[in-house]
Every structure is written in structure tokens, then in C-alpha cells.
Amino acid sequence: KAGVTQTPRYLIKTRGQQVTLSCSPISGHRSVSWYQQTPGQGLQFLFEYFSETQRNKGNFPGRFSGRQFSNSRSEMNVSTLELGDSALYLCASSDYYEQYFGPGTRLTVT
Amino acid sequence: TQLLEQSPQFLSIQEGENLTVYCNSSSVFSSLQWYRQEPGEGPVLLVTVVTGGEVKKLKRLTFQFGDARKDSSLHITAAQPGDTGLYLCAGEGSGYALNFGKGTSLLVTP
């Protein structure tokens, strides 16, 4: 089976802009979770989707949003980017409680 | 939030040495997962431990889940440069999120 894919791998944006990141889960997996990883805070949970419904949300401002499509692919959006949003954004797909991560999207906000 | 504390934070050893990293919490987890992450990549699942007192082996890596299911350890025998990476433990949080420790950064030099 192909693994989790994320696009793009690298992204540079300017403060105030918005960005959309994409994730394709492992075939057959219906749950997709998103995490933000920074050196200071480590991996922090953003949100989780299952069958196009958000089941859980982490403690992030409303500028962070996501959605899931009928084919289980997911996108996350960050609006009004801030310097502190610079991070590695990781997507994970799951068929039960084990999560399998993609390579991440490295977002740099200047 | 169920916090996971990992120690040590950094570890630098020479090839052939043994090491142990720890993952501790005041909360009980139904399962704990260990991941290894290399720079610029997503975490790769190594093992899931479910039963208190459980010991799992993966080649030179030995994982143990505490009897009370509040802590876990990872022991590497005869470390090799290929073991270099960030080792993360994770347990289930609220809903379907994973709570991660901040990780142990391991460097194995030839």
C-alpha cells in the first residue's frame, strides 16, 4: 500500500497570507489527523476527521481549519499567517488507534 | 491533557553502546506508541504496547510498558549510527488525538 502523501513538501509564505495544505491518507483509512510540530512545543494535535466530519479539535485559534472529502483526502487551511505558524505540519491516517504519518509540509512564514 | 514526559531530552553516544529512554506520565493509558523521526520527515511507528508489563522486541530495540500502564521505556542494544533520530512516545488523548512527549534526540557516532 502507498503511504500517506502530503503536498506541498515545502512552502514559504508572507505574514497575513493564507495557505492550504493537502493530505492523501493510506488507501482504506477513513481517519485523518493533523499535527503541528515546532522545536519548542513538539507535536501538537490540530484536528481529526472521519468520514468528512471533524470529530476532535485541538487548542488552536480559529485561523486553523480543515476539511475532509468523500475520498478521505483532507486539507487544512491557515488564514492570516503569523510568524509563529512556521512549523512542520504533519498529517496522519489511521484505521484504528495506530496512526501513520506523512512526510509533512514545512511551512515558513516570513 | 494527559502529559507525557520523556527523558533524557538529548543523548549522544558512540556506536556499540547501550541506552535506555523513558516515557512517564501520571495518567493511565490504554496503549502507548513509540515513533522514530528523522530530520525533515514524519514520525515512523515502531511499536504499540497495550498490556501492562508487556515487553516487545524489534531487533535490537526492546520496548516495555509499565505494570500500571503509566510509563514505558525503550532500550537499544549496541546502538548503530542508523539509530540516530528523534524518539517519540505517544498515548491517546481526548477523542481520537494522540498526545506526544517532546521526544529524545539520539545521536550515535561511529
Are B83 and B106 within 8 A, CB to CB?
yes
Percentage of chain B with pLDDT > 70?
96
Distance from CA of B15 to the nearest CA of A (A): 26
pLDDT at position A25: 97
Mean of the per-residue pLDDT values of chain B: 93
Domain B5-109 in this protein, CATH class: mainly beta
- What is the mean predicted confidence (pLDDT) over B81-98? 88
Q: What is residue B48's predicted lDDT score, i.e. its pLDDT?
A: 93
Say if residue A1's pLDDT is above 70: no
Do the chains contact at A90 and B43, CB–CB below 8 Å? yes
Q: List, for residues B10-41, the tens digit of each pLDDT value.
A: 999 999 999 999 999 998 988 899 999 998 89
Quick check: B47 pLDDT over 70?
Answer: yes
- Cell numbers 500517506 correspond to what residue? A4
* Between residues B2 and A9, the one the model is more confident about: A9
Distance CA B16, CA B86 (A): 18
With beta carbons under 8 A apart, name residues in chain B contacting A106: 40
Chain B residues lying within 8 Å of A58, measured CB to CB: 97
pLDDT of B1 higher than 70: no
The contact set of B with A (CB < 8 A) is: 31, 33, 35, 40-45, 48, 88, 90, 92-103
A40 touches chain B (CB under 8 A): no
Q: What is the pLDDT of residues A23-74, one digit of tens each?
A: 999 999 999 999 999 988 999 999 999 999 999 999 999 999 999 999 999 9
Average pLDDT of chain A to the nearest whole number = 94
pLDDT value at residue A95:
81
pLDDT of residue B2: 66
Asked if residue B61 has pLDDT above 80, the reply is yes
Per domain, the residue ranges of chain B are 5-109
Q: Which residues of chain B lie closer than 8 angstroms to A90, CB-CB? A: 42-43
* Interface contact A100, partner B, CB < 8 A: yes
Question: Which of B40, B97, B103 faces A42 most closely, judged by CB atoms?
Answer: B103
Q: Would the pLDDT of B97 be above 90?
A: no
Contact B97 A90 (CB under 8 A): no
Nearest-CB residue to B96 (from A31, A42, A103): A31
pLDDT in the model for residue B40: 85
